[in-house]
Amino acid sequence: MSLLTVRGLEARYGASQALFGVDLEIDEGEVLALMGRNGMGKSTTVKCLCRMMVSSGDLRFAGQDLHGLRAHQAGRLGIGLVPEGRRCFADLTVLENLVAAARPGHWDAERVGALFPRLTERQGQIARSLSGGEQQMLAIGRALMTNPRLLVLDEATEGLAPIVRQEIWAALTKLKAETGMAMLIIDKSLSEISAVADRAVILERGKSVWTGEPEGISGEIAERYLGV
Amino acid sequence: MSREAVINAVVVAGLVLVPLWAVWADEPFTITLATRAVVLALAAVGLNLALGLGGLVSLGHAVFFGIGGYAMGVLASHAQSYTPLMEWPVLIEGTKSMPIIWLVSIVASALVALVIGSVSLRTSGVYFIMITLAFGQMFFFFTISWAAYGGEDGLSIYVRNGFPGLNTLVPIQFYGLCLVVLLVVLVFCSALARSPFGLALNAARQAPERVQAVGLDPFRLRLVAFVISGAITGLAGALFADLARFVSPTMFSWQLSGEIMVFIIIGGVARLFGPVVGAVLFVMLEHWLGGLSDYWHVFLGLLLLGIVLFAKGGLIGVLAGKARAHD
């Protein structure tokens, strides 16, 4: 049984329909890349998964129907979100950001610190005073502190310096190799995401139009659907 | 040691030393004023938990103050008239024991806070303010019409309630008791602000949608904070009633809710000792300026205006600089 099953997912912003039928599946330990150009429905799909907006279609996590759940209930069920734009708790320190989100399980502040040593160095620093990259690491660490079964990363490396991007991709690769955590990653960087993802789903105008291994994304597909 | 910690230590030292000086100088009225300041500070510390940490602008916290007061008034009035509170289905007698009265005040206030919070926390902003205000007015008018316990005239308790090992009629002993309660509650609030619950509540104030993303329910966090806040303010109400040996519907008035909020704004919202500094300053102004003019609230208004315009961190913010709730 898949960890996450999405079939025919549809969603609207008022009168405007944003998703017209998204299909995707993630197994335990699998890393899925959700790709597509801007405005194609990637973040809307994430919002539906995390129950931050109303949707229709088949949406199941660990066999449980997600419809009818509220956002915090989806979080408790094991969907850990790293939201777009980092969005740490700005007035709390690094350690407090982690402690505020903590739930019992494998991940604790020490393990997050081992994954991102910079966070250990800055654990007493107020989140708003961190660099963009450090805030992103904190956002990932905070999601890990909830001990999720599925980590959802929405544009986790957007707007970061290349060296910081490398650091984050290295951490995600390590996370996959050492813990086998299932991940849904939204990112525009085909080369970097291909190194981590087992499979990819491409969205076009609110609909999944291509599914397969990232290596299978040909130049034509990349040009047509990803604008690369 | 941070500058704010030094200021807090100075405030505690002042709260200990000034009444001792008053005993030495034979100034019992100063002790009464200090007791009033400490009890009002306790009420404000309760509200500060909801307002400062949870961002809940409650204009109905006098409800809990009044419930604490009336819990004391009702129990003590039955004890002094030797009539039971109820005989069926179980016999409940009145009491003059402060620990029992405090317990009843805390539980009653917490239960009412649970009901009010369950309704009002489904709203936010101005609607939350209006609903809490409406609940306050409901209790205010109920007590006005509650003839069995004095109605509009209130209820007098002739002898202050007792606490084991103390003579609460001696002003300095009652003051010491109130100060210990305040300090215990401050330690509790400080620990709460640093706990995972306090951090999550703080986070929910900053960004409720992000808190949901990590599996926390902002409504539940705020409700728990509102209940604890109400319970603390209720305890303050019981102490205030014992100080005055009188309870009346004014304990439920929206003006009192506003005054409690003013203490916090003057001292510093979300500062641990902000409510204490605000309440002490308020009582001092009330005493000194009130002796000069009946319109002393004009000066208080000017002070409040100055703080809101030029010192949003309150007096502690001015003295200690930018800091956070649990520093």
What's the complex ipTM?
0.87
Which architecture does CATH list for A1-77+182-228? 3-Layer(aba) Sandwich (3.40)
CA quadruple B72, B77, B78, B81: dihedral, nearest 10 = 160
- Short-list B207, B205, B201, CA closest to B221: B201
Indicate the length of chain A as a whole number. Answer: 228
Q: Which residues of A touch B (CB under 8 A)?
A: 50, 52, 70-76, 80-81, 83, 87, 89-92, 96-97, 99-103, 142-143, 145-146
Residue B158 maps to a domain: yes
Domain count, chain B: 1
Residue B326 maps to a domain: no
How would residue B326 be classed by pLDDT, with cut points 50, 70 and 90? very low
Residue B275 maps to a domain: yes
Residues on chain A touching B200 (C-beta within 8 angstroms): 100-101
How far off is chain A from B81, nearest CA to CA, in Å? 51
Q: Which domain holds residue B51?
A: 3-320
Q: A48, A51, A88, A89: best mutation site toward chain B, by most B Cβ within 10 Å? A: A89
Asked if the C-beta of B211 comes within 8 angstroms of chain A's C-beta atoms, the answer is yes
Question: A82-91 burial string, b = 16+ CB within 10 Å, else e?
Answer: bbbebbbbbb
Nearest CA in chain B to A101: B214
Q: Which region, left, alpha or beta, applies to residue B215 given φ > 0 means left and ψ of -120 to 50 means alpha?
A: left
Q: Which of A71, A91, A102 sits opposite B196 (nearest CB)?
A: A102
Is B203 within 8 Å of A97 when comparing Cβ atoms?
Answer: yes
Residue B325 maps to a domain: no
Is B214 within 8 Å of A96 when comparing Cβ atoms?
Answer: no
CA–CA gap between residue B219 and residue A72 (Å, rounded): 10
Residue B168 tokens, joined: 């609460």
What are the start-end ranges of the H helices in chain B?
3-24, 28-48, 62-81, 98-120, 125-144, 171-194, 196-206, 208-213, 218-244, 254-267, 274-292, 297-310, 314-320
Residue B188 maps to a domain: yes
Asked if the C-beta of B216 comes within 8 angstroms of chain A's C-beta atoms, the answer is yes
Find residue A61's DSSP bridge partners: A4, A64
Residue B239 tokens, joined: 């102490």
Q: Considering only residues B160 and A188, tell me which one the structure prediction assigns the higher pLDDT.
A: B160
pTM: 0.91
Phi and psi at B156, nearest 5°, equal -100, 140
- Number of Cβ within 10 Å of residue A168's Cβ equals 19
Q: B194, B199, B221: best mutation site toward chain A, by most A Cβ within 10 Å? A: B199
Secondary structure element (H or E) that encloses residue A79, with its range: strand A79-82
pLDDT tens digit at each of 228 positions of chain A:
799 999 999 999 999 999 999 999 999 999 999 999 999 999 999 999 999 999 999 999 999 999 999 999 999 999 999 988 878 999 999 999 999 999 999 999 999 999 999 999 999 999 999 999 999 999 999 999 999 999 999 998 888 899 999 999 999 999 999 999 999 999 888 888 988 999 999 999 999 999 999 999 999 999 999 887
Per-residue pLDDT of A66-106, as tens digits, reads: 999 999 999 999 999 998 887 899 999 999 999 999 999 99
Contact B76, B84 (CB under 8 A): no
Is B216 within 8 Å of A72 when comparing Cβ atoms?
Answer: yes
Angle at A74 between CA A73 and CA A77, to 5 degrees: 85
Q: Which of A73, A87, A103 sits opposite B210 (nearest CB)?
A: A87
Q: Which residues contact A41 (CB under 8 A, 6 or more apart)?
A: A11, A18, A19, A22, A203, A205, A206, A207
Q: What is the CA radius of gyration of chain B?
A: 19
How high is the mean pLDDT of chain B? 94
Phi and psi at B262, nearest 5°, equal -60, -40
Cα within 13 Å of Cα(B239), Cβ side: 26
CA–CA gap between residue A15 and residue B288 (Å, rounded): 63
CA–CA gap between residue A216 and residue B295 (Å, rounded): 81
Residue B217 maps to a domain: yes
Residue A4 tokens, joined: 């996450």
The enclosing domain of B187 has a CATH number of 1.10.3470
